[in-house]
Amino acid sequence: MDANLTGNLSPDDPELSPVTRAMVALRGQVLDAWMAEVRRAVPQAKELSLPILANTLPAYFDTLAALLTPQHPARIVSDLGTVASEHGGERARLTLYDATAVIHEMQIFRDVLFRELERHGVVLEGEQRAMLSSYIDATIRESANAFTVVQAALREQFVAAMAHDLRTPLSTAQMAAEMIAHTSGDANVRRYVEKIVASTQRIDGMTRELLDRIAFSKTGPVRLTIQEVDLVTLAREVAQAAEVAHAVELSVEAGQVRGWWCAEALRRAIENLVNNAIKYGAPDAPVRITVSTTQERVQVLVHNRGAPIAPEDSEGIFQLYRRAGNQGLGEGWGVGLPYVRRIAEAHGGSVMMSSSEDDGTVFVIDLPMDARPFAGAPTAA
CATH number at residue 65: 1.10.490
119 and 249 part of one domain? no
363 burial level (CB within 10 Å; 0-12, 13-18, 19+): buried
129 and 264 part of one domain? no
231 and 146 part of one domain? no
154, 179, 214 - which closes a domain? 154
Per DSSP bridges, beta strands 350-356 and 287-294 are unpaired
Q: How many domains does the structure of the chain reveal?
A: 2
244 and 134 part of one domain? no
253 and 118 part of one domain? no
23 and 111 part of one domain? yes
pLDDT (0 to 100) of residue 381:
60
Tell me whether residue 179 is in a domain: no
Tell me whether residue 262 is in a domain: yes
CA atoms of 194 and 180, how far apart (whole Å): 10
128, 154, 180 - which closes a domain? 154
pLDDT (0 to 100) of residue 37:
97
**Tens digits of pLDDT across the chain (381 residues):** 578 889 999 999 999 999 999 999 999 999 999 999 999 999 999 999 999 999 999 999 999 999 999 988 888 999 999 999 999 999 999 999 999 999 999 999 999 999 999 999 999 999 999 999 999 999 999 999 999 988 877 776 666 666 666 767 877 877 888 888 788 878 888 888 887 877 777 677 666 656 555 543 445 567 789 999 999 999 999 999 888 789 999 999 888 999 999 998 999 899 989 988 998 899 999 999 999 999 899 999 999 998 888 776 666 677 644 444 444 443 332 457 888 998 999 999 999 999 998 899 999 999 999 999 988 776 766
Tell me whether residue 185 is in a domain: no
Q: Could you tell me the CATH number of the domain that includes residue 334?
A: 3.30.565.10
Tell me whether residue 207 is in a domain: no
pLDDT (0 to 100) of residue 163:
66
CA dist list (Å): 60 to 7, 140, 363: 7, 11, 15
Per DSSP bridges, beta strands 248-252 and 287-294 are parallel
125 burial level (CB within 10 Å; 0-12, 13-18, 19+): exposed
pLDDT (0 to 100) of residue 218:
46
154, 189, 218 - which closes a domain? 154
Structural domain span for residue 237: 227-374
144 and 232 part of one domain? no
pTM of the model: 0.73
pLDDT (0 to 100) of residue 35:
97
141 and 232 part of one domain? no
Tell me whether residue 381 is in a domain: no
The β-bridge partners of 298 are 293, 367
Q: Where are the beta strands (DSSP E) in 310-349?
A: none
Residue 297 dihedral angles phi and psi, to the nearest 5°: -135, 160
233 and 150 part of one domain? no
102 and 7 part of one domain? yes
Tell me whether residue 159 is in a domain: no
Tell me whether residue 178 is in a domain: no
Tell me whether residue 283 is in a domain: yes
Helices (H), the chain: 18-25, 27-41, 50-54, 57-66, 75-94, 99-119, 126-183, 187-213, 231-242, 263-280, 336-346
pLDDT (0 to 100) of residue 67:
95
Distance between alpha carbon 266 and the CA centroid of its chain, in Å?
A: 14
245 and 108 part of one domain? no
